[in-house]
Every structure is written in structure tokens, then in C-alpha cells.
Amino acid sequence: AASRNDTLVTASHAVFIKSSGRTAPAAVVGFQFQHSALLALFKNITYSCHDPYCVKTCESDALGCYVLDNNAYIVVSKEIKDTGRFFGDTDGYVMESLVKEKIYKKIHMFDYQAVCFRGEPTKSQGSILMTPLNHLKWMLEWTLANALWMFAQTNLHHMWYGDGAYGSEHRDYDGLYVDSVNTNEDDEEGEESEGTAKPTDPPYEKMQINRTRPDACDAEMDLYKLVKYSQKDQSPYQNKQMACMRPYVVQAIPYSNMILLVVDLTCPRTAVPMSILPIEVEYRNFSLACYKAHFFDLHRTRPLSCINNHTKESEIEHLCGGSSIIQLSLLLLFPSWALAYFVFSER
């Protein structure tokens, strides 16, 4: 995302009001600026050193410099492709060390309203075990298929349904005569048109959309939170590794929830990248619905009180329907009685 010149970074700050020993959030203020400006400021600060004893800066290929937020996501990096990624995907060993040194805290989370996409199971290319029963099954299927095909081609169903249609003879052929004789000019034009004819468009191909059917599932994941510099501790932290491990230095960025992480890239990576993607929780021998039904008390409970009406229902006037109510019509009752009296009295 940072490779685009129009990527915006939003910096915000919460405003709290304190009164009588109580604190309440009142507003959030902030502004947006271009990520390219933040990257230029990052390089301007980390690529220069005014100390005469300074040996290396972040401009060196031996150092990796990152600005991480409070959830260990990369905000600024020398490698633009790393911007926006979780730092554990870039360097899992250093991320594990940050958790071990209690700079970041690992929080195990569960998502009970997750959505999982089921993948199609892989099919084996091996053949099944050939037994005489398989050959007998194929022979019966072949015989039945050929019998049905012969029945459809011989039109035997007309033996049971004798209805048919017979056409009458039509002798007036003058009205059906079509002049198919072309003149020479038409032939010449036709020959020219064949050479200059435009190619026909390819036949319409049906667009097939890969449809997926998401299913409800439970998922678990590991998230990370910055804890060392969450208070007023702004002291730098230096980790010196033994043997050929990657040492690093952590410095809090004042007035923000970010840290500057400088890693020595001399040693190769020694750990598998960490991931924060949610993983589906699999229940052995149970589906999700059966697991909840067996291990959780999900019975419906009766309400505490009987609520079958509202005190303000009688005040509703404009929300009533326009249909008439079902009741006896006196206007039609007396004429129907009079009509019935005259009909039965004549008998």
C-alpha cells in the first residue's frame, strides 16, 4: 500500500475530560498526511548522524530499521513492500524475542462468530481396487444405458400413444417461389465482399463465477500489544544476542504509540515467520452445532414478566391499516332477507 503516492496516514489523539476524580472521553482529534512525507522524515532522521563516533546509520544494508505501532504492525520501513505488514511475518525470531523480553504481550483471542471458507478436498490419482464386482457393475451400467438409448432412438413410445399429425397437400407453389438468380453485378460485389469481410466475433462464452459457501465456525488467533512503553517509561532497550543471533535496539518514539526498532541483519534469519491469521478451531468427532448443543446450556429461558401489550398501543392512530374489519353488514342483511322471502313464498 505504501508504494502508492496517495496513501494516507491518520494520526489521532483522544481527548478526555477529568472532573471530580472521574475521567470520560470527550472527543478525538487528528489529521491525515501522506505516507511519502512520513517516509521522507524517517529517512532524514535515521540516515544521518551528527555524532562523530557514529559508525552505522539506517542507510547501511547491515541494519534494518522499522517503525512499529502498538500492535506490531510496520508503519515505516526502508523496504516499502513491508509497510502495513505484521512484523512477525518479516522477522519471526526478533518478534519472539520482543515478546520474551516483555516489550510486546501476546494475547490469545477467540472469535466465536468467524466465517470459514471450505476448500475442496484433494482427489487422489490412484485407481480403485479392481474386483469382479466392479466389472459386473460396469457391465450392468453399460447394458442399461444402451437399452435406454435404443428405446429412445426407435421411438417405441408411439406404440402406446397413437396420436399423430398428418399434413395436407399444398398445390399453390407460386406464392412460395423465390428468385435465387443473381445478376453479374451482384456476383462481383459478392466476390469483393468475401475478400474484405470482417472476421466474425467469437461465440459467447459463458462466464463462470467461482462461488464459495462460507460456513460459521470458531477461530483462534494470537494478537500482540505494546506494554513496555505504554506508561512513562521511555528508556531505550538493547538486546545483545549470543553467537550468531540478530541483536536489536528498541527506542520509544515520544508522544506516540510507536517504537523505533533497529535490527542487525548480519546474521541470517533463524525462525519461521509468525502469523496472526485466524485458525479454525476443530472439535474432534463433533460439528460446531453439535458441540455447542452438547457442551453448552443453550436452552431458551422464559422472560421475567409477561409482556403481551404496551400501554401506548391505544395512542397509535396513523399506523393502522386501511382495510375494513370483518363484521355483519346491516345494509345487506335486510335486502337479502326480503329476496329470500319472495323466492320461497312463490314456491
Residue 301 lies in a domain: no
Residue 98 lies in a domain: yes
pLDDT, one tens digit per residue, over 146-166 is: 988 887 777 665 665 555 555
- In this structure, of 79-83, 94-98, 227-231, 281-285, the range with the lowest mean pLDDT score is 227-231
Is the pLDDT at 299 greater than 80, yes or no? no
pLDDT, one tens digit per residue, over 247-279 is: 888 999 988 889 999 998 887 776 677 888 999
pLDDT, one tens digit per residue, over 47-71 is: 888 877 788 888 888 899 999 999 9
Residue 314 lies in a domain: no
- In this structure, of 87-96, 118-127, 308-317, the range with the lowest mean pLDDT score is 118-127
pLDDT over 70, % of the chain: 70
Euclidean distance between CA atoms 247 and 76, whole angstroms: 20
The pLDDT value recorded for residue 318 is: 65
pLDDT, one tens digit per residue, over 10-34 is: 999 889 999 888 999 999 999 999 9
Alpha-carbon torsion, ordered 269, 272, 277, 280, to 10 deg: 180
The pLDDT value recorded for residue 287 is: 72
C-alpha cell at position 131? 474386483
Residue 165 lies in a domain: no
pLDDT, one tens digit per residue, over 179-191 is: 555 555 445 444 4
Is the pLDDT at 193 greater than 50, yes or no? no
**Domain around 262:** 52-117+218-280
The pLDDT value recorded for residue 247 is: 85
The pLDDT value recorded for residue 343 is: 79
Report how many domains make up the chain: 1
Euclidean distance between CA atoms 85 and 97, whole angstroms: 18
The pLDDT value recorded for residue 208 is: 52
Mean pLDDT rounded to a whole number for the chain: 77
**What confidence category does residue 233 fall into, taking pLDDT thresholds of 50, 70 and 90?**
low
314 vs 165, higher pLDDT: 314
C-alpha cell at position 48? 544521518
The pLDDT value recorded for residue 172 is: 53
Residue 305 lies in a domain: no
Residue 226 lies in a domain: yes
Euclidean distance between CA atoms 216 and 117, whole angstroms: 9
Residue 257 lies in a domain: yes
Strand order across the 279-280 sheet: 104-117, 214-226, 279-280
Is the pLDDT at 122 greater than 70, yes or no? no
**What confidence category does residue 336 fall into, taking pLDDT thresholds of 50, 70 and 90?**
confident
The pLDDT value recorded for residue 166 is: 53
Is the pLDDT at 97 greater than 60, yes or no? yes
Residue 267 lies in a domain: yes
The 10 Å CB-count burial string (b at 16+, else e) for 285-301 is eeebeeeeeeeeeeeee
**What confidence category does residue 128 fall into, taking pLDDT thresholds of 50, 70 and 90?**
confident
242 bridge partner residues = none
